[in-house]
Amino acid sequence: MHTLFVSHPDCATHDTGPGHPESARRLQALSAALDQAQPALQGRVTRVDARHASEDELELVHSRGHLEKVQAAVRAAAHSQGLLHLDPDTVVSPGSWQAALAACGTVLTAVEALLDGSARNAFCAARPPGHHATRDRAMGFCLFNNVAVAARHAQQRGLQRVLIVDWDVHHGNGTEAIFYADPDVYYLSMHQSPHYPGTGQRGRRGHDQGEGRNLNLPVPPGLPAERYISQLLSGLELALSDFGPDIVFVSSGFDAALGDPLAGLTLTPADYHRLTRHVMEVAASQCENRVVSVLEGGYALELLSGCALAHIRALADLDLC
């Protein structure tokens, strides 16, 4: 079966303004890289157009009040024919509501394809990104938590246990908070520390019934790639020691790449390819190969496209070169 590349044109309608690192050019760079690589990917990677998420689906994770705050901000931006800042980093434009529904929809579409048996795994080219968004708050470039909504959707479709591997360079504070007391969702985050948003301490292991279902692996800037990989694989082994997932989501930021302007880690495309292979081995042994990878960060366009393409090649069971 194919690997899906899931996208929606409305993701490009979220305008963050000139100079903002999280721009529609990120998706353009990914699409161009995929086009250029298409001869090698022929028959292995299939582009799919996503649907929009519904408001009811967003409310699997987010409060009605949060939806209304984002809607009101988008209306205000449309009225002023400009941009509106929800915080110093997080912007909405007149097209942001449709973009946010499309971003969540890419991941829901991927989940449905895997569960319907029409795909092996998927990469979702989603923006705005999601892992900083909490139940009630947009932050860190994120409006809604795409992975969290899709995890709940997968559970509604009959899967119970969800593993989320977050290798974005920033800690996914929103994802952690949403599932912190949930025994059926294991959240594993590898992130640079100290760094935005200042969360993700190693000792935070979950609460109440979710005790032991949260694992933070904060690492210092400049950590050699080999040590990064070793620590992440050790974290995966620990997670799987008492947790068997039915599906694996990857919050796949590529901002841990060497040279990303918002971070200080050292990964290369080959490292992302290797990490993806390990995640696929987990999925093959645990959950019938079900992996849904979702774009989070990555802000140097050439690095983003190179690392993402290596990741997609691994999902498609292709060597790096």
Q: Tell me the per-residue pLDDT of 161-192, one tens digit each, with 9 for 90 and over.
A: 999 999 999 999 999 999 999 999 999 999 99
- What Å distances lie between residue 4 and 32, 44, 93, 289, CA to CA? 16, 9, 29, 13
Q: pLDDT category, 8, cuts 50, 70, 90?
A: very high
- What's the pLDDT at 321? 76
Give which of 170, 166, 139 is closest to 263, Cα–Cα. 170
321 inside domain: no
Strand order in the sheet with 185-192: 45-49, 3-7, 121-124, 291-295, 247-252, 162-166, 185-192, 214-219
Over 80: is that where the pLDDT of 42 sits? Answer: yes
Percent of the chain with pLDDT over 70: 100
Q: Report how far residue 146's alpha carbon sits from residue 309's, in angstroms, rounded to the nearest whole number.
A: 21
Counting the structural domains of the chain, the total is 1
56 inside domain: yes
- What's the pLDDT at 153? 98
80 inside domain: yes
Give which of 197, 283, 209, 292 is closest to 246, Cα–Cα. 283
What's the CATH number where 63 sits? 3.40.800.20
For the purposes of burial, counting CB atoms within 10 Å of the CB of 106, is it exposed (0-12), middle (13-18) or buried (19 or more)?
buried
- What's the pLDDT at 33? 96
Over 90: is that where the pLDDT of 84 sits? Answer: yes
Over 90: is that where the pLDDT of 263 sits? Answer: yes
Mean pLDDT of 50-61: 98
What are the strands, taking DSSP E only, across the chain? Answer: 3-7, 45-49, 84-85, 91-92, 121-124, 162-166, 185-192, 214-219, 247-252, 291-295
Q: Report how far residue 313's alpha carbon sits from residue 122's, in angstroms, rounded to the nearest whole number.
A: 11
pTM > 0.85: yes
- What's the pLDDT at 14? 98
Percent of the chain with pLDDT over 90: 99
Residues annotated as catalytic (active site), given as ranges = 132
Length of the chain: 321
Strand partners, 249: 164, 292
Mean pLDDT of 299-304: 98
- What's the pLDDT at 1? 73
112 inside domain: yes
Condensed to tens digits (0 to 9), the pLDDT of residues 192-235 reads: 999 999 999 999 999 999 999 999 999 999 999 999 999 999 99
Q: What residue numbers bound the domain in which 304 lies?
A: 3-315
Over 80: is that where the pLDDT of 157 sits? Answer: yes
- What's the pLDDT at 132? 98
Is residue 185 helix, strand or coil? strand
- What's the pLDDT at 90? 98
320 inside domain: no
Identify whether the C-beta of residue 26 lies closer than 8 Å to the C-beta of residue 301: yes
